[in-house]
Structure 1
């Protein structure tokens, strides 16, 4: 955890924020390993004595989620995953675990996200294949126009490329927030070492270890924390820019995400939001799919119409309060690589908003 980000962004207790709607500042607790600029191992502690929740800092990443024990129970095994397994032995272990194991599901995630976020930096990758997330973000920022000075928040940052792009285009701090530990560790390795290392799937459970040099201007102004996009652990209106690229269909409550973005953007600031409306019950209950669960409703199953009302103050009971759509949304091609012979092609719905 970079001290510059902690001191400037002043995170608050996510538990108090989610359960009581109160922004209680966090303080440094124990510090087990640190240098002049960062805390690598330690805790952050809620300043309300009736809560006093301790949030661990693990390998430099504070874990700031409302249900800390729930997240730890689901992800604790990932926190102690070894990073020093030789590539050949990783393949042997993957074969032993089998294709339906959590181990190989994680490798598939790292393969798809790692390739899209950093594959365009590999000279062996044909032009225009990897890097959909970069092109989509750039299209949104170009349309959004100039913004006031201030930090940027990258909700659902995944493997981190969008956070680095935001830093390269600006002059202030950037914070990437995500719930996925392996992807966040990939992002932090790029931040700390300037290289992206991830398994690239060839087919089946055959993977090659990919190592790509990835150095970005402004990387020293980027940090990555574990956090819930529905409850960003900050007081309101602290960010000049909020990005949420392909996150809306990956959360339990899309309206809650929109209101969280609305609350984080400073006056005069902006937001870039993209989604392919690729709903899944693993992330979002069917009843929360924006227009995508019944073609017999007023919107005939059109997700875009429901989202437009949610982003128009007063147009829907769950509408945002401040953000206004800037111009017309656009559809941007987005490619997800599954393996050597399979890709998924999305049309992601890109929106620009101003406060």
Structure 2
């Protein structure tokens, strides 16, 4: 329930407060820069992300460069610019008139190409709302709206990335720091085509604890997310909970595990090479999405299709590109 509106543009709440309607809860959640922040531990999230929530975006490229030099590499300021550079280049670089291929055959849009490949595995147009889990700067969210008929929601924990996505939605322009080398960045700004804007929104949420009733969505997409959460099996279970009967999930992952993000015990493959799968990840994910094929098989989900090696690349800077081979799977919610 909207409890307070501090700043509004048209029907878009830019700043405000949302109250939980459960009488036993009555927690309040902020709307910041048009983004509702609805996470399990709101106080902890705001405290942990205060730097990003209050980070200025109105400084000139010259002063931003000075701040970057002063902060130096490895700082939150530097890491934030690196994330914005990498994700925004892939999501919107195809619209940048100044963009040139850094290497032959390497171009923006790996995210959209992977999403389109997943959608082509589906039997038809998904019915009902769609959710883009780990949406980052929103590239796949906008693409989803082209392939579905209902509302499309992008959710992520990274507020800086969500802020950029929301600005693209509202302004149909992107402005971001494109990393050249080291801590040298070039500010890029250009228009971006946005269609079906009235059906799209971006929220700050935890993909492992989505604030929705069971069976809300007809399609859930998580690209490069399985190996980026604390508990991959919990991600699959929470995604399944939110799908209505006949709803579909699309997941894609290179199984690029990091113990700083996912404890070893939570990895899907990548360990226990003496076991029946010799440490392979792909057969384990298949069994998790097949009824009764594994003790932890996700209830109500049935694997329907896959591409075992889909090419994906990520731009780091002018002289660095990271290449992946992602495992793309689709699964349907069954009774």
Q: TM-score range by the shorter chain?
A: over 0.9
Is 1:289 paired with 2:289?
no
**Which aligned pairs between 1:200-219 and structure 2 lie closer than 5 A?**
200-219=178-197
Per-residue deviation, 1:159: 0.8
Cα deviation digits, residues 179-226 of structure 1 (max 9, x gap): 001110111111011112111111111010111321122122110000
Q: Which residue does the alignment assign to 2:116?
A: 138
Paired positions, count = 329
Per-residue deviation, 1:66: 0.6
Per-residue deviation, 1:128: 4.9
Is 1:301 paired with 2:279?
yes
Q: Which residue does the alignment assign to 1:337?
A: 315
Q: Which residue does the alignment assign to 2:66?
A: 92
Is 1:192 paired with 2:167?
no
Q: 2:88 aligns with which of 99, 104, 114?
A: 114
Per-residue deviation, 1:268: 1.6
Q: Distance in 2 between matches of 1:134 and 1:41?
A: 31
Q: Distance in 1 between matches of 2:11 and 2:106?
A: 37
Cα deviation digits, residues 291-348 of structure 1 (max 9, x gap): 2133222221111121111111222222211221113433211111011000100011
Q: Which runs of 4+ in 1 moved over 4 A?
A: none
Q: Which residue does the alignment assign to 1:17?
A: none
Q: Distance in 2 between matches of 1:180 and 1:147?
A: 29
Q: Which residue does the alignment assign to 1:246?
A: 224
Cα deviation digits, residues 208-260 of structure 1 (max 9, x gap): 01113211221221100000011111001111111111100000000000011
Taking structure 1 as the reference length, the TM-score comes to: 0.89
Q: Give secondary structure in 2 for the equivalent of 1:64.
A: coil
Q: 1:162 aligns with which of 135, 140, 144?
A: 140
Q: Give secondary structure in 1 for the equivalent of 2:287.
A: helix
**Which aligned pairs between 1:1-355 and structure 2 lie closer than 5 A?**
27-123=1-97, 124-126=99-101, 128-355=106-333
Please identify, of 279-288 and 290-299, the stretch whose mean Cα deviation from structure 2 is larger: 290-299
Classify 1:132/1:148 alpha carbon distance in 2 versus 1 (closer, same or farther; 3 Å).
closer
Q: CA RMSD in A?
A: 1.4
C-alpha contact (below 8 Å) 1:44/1:54 kept by paired residues: yes
Classify 1:41/1:182 alpha carbon distance in 2 versus 1 (closer, same or farther; 3 Å).
same
For structure 2, which runs of at least 5 residues remain unmatched after alignment? none
C-alpha contact (below 8 Å) 1:239/1:264 kept by paired residues: yes
Q: Distance in 1 between matches of 2:305 and 2:127?
A: 22
Taking structure 2 as the reference length, the TM-score comes to: 0.95
